[in-house]
Structure 1
Amino acid sequence: MFDLRDVSGYRIGELEKMNDLCKLGINCLKNVKDAEEACAKLCEKRRLTYLTLCWSWSDTDSRNNDLDGNVLDNLQPPKCLRNLIIERYMGARSAIWMNNVNPIFNLEKIKLTDCLECETLPPFGKLPFLMSRTL
């Protein structure tokens, strides 16, 4: 689990060149300042099969839901991803990459926990290998 902080060495950009990761958890996504900063190039991590994206409970009332959505848009995983967990995401919409089956084609398990503001869900029924979903 990589805990993001607003300090050098703990920003999401630190993950950019770590391309051999098989399992990754990113915690405290509320500390990402803007959508461009969130570009950790996850889609280039060709061995990544397990990904957890987690926002914090703190400051949920004052959080910028549009920023959360833009951050999630920029965290597109690679096509080899099999397991995805998203926790405490407060955006109203799902990520752009989740609405297109191609980037998450191989997904077998997805778990959305405490995504209380989500108004729409991606087309999970179109994922051919999906065995488990928890909403």
Structure 2
Amino acid sequence: MKRFLGLMMLVYLISCDSDNDPVIQDTGLNGEWILQEVSCFCAFDANVDFSETRLIFETDTNTLTVINEGTDRFFKESGVYRYGGQNNVLDFTDNTSYQFEVAENQLTLVYLDNPQIADDEVVYSFRRS
């Protein structure tokens, strides 16, 4: 009976689908990023200083620290956030998701919004600090 249970447990573990496991494939996120631009269907004052927003990714712990040094908040409130996701999508515990791309010293985050609303797409452009 013990062998049967052991065999059943082994079959169960082998048959588990690992595609659902949170795996971010790009460790290039690691480090500090400074916001350069926000592109959206909105207007910003010509003198707005986006660089007051910084992100610090720690890929070994899947945490993101957001630092807003000014009075404006462009990305998230200052604080530490845990993330998961798969491939090039970051999923946060506040039910927001962002598609990301790292190209050398540039990071692009695209807010994955409601596809039925055309005016809420936001693209954040960062450079490595």
Instruction: Pick 1 or 2: higher relative contact order, CA cutoff 8 A, min separation 6.
Output: 2
> Rg larger in 1 or in 2?
2
TM > 0.5? no
Which structure is higher in strand share?
2
TM-score by length of 2: 0.22
Q: Which has the higher helix share?
A: 1
In the superposition, the TM-score normalised over structure 1's length comes to 0.21
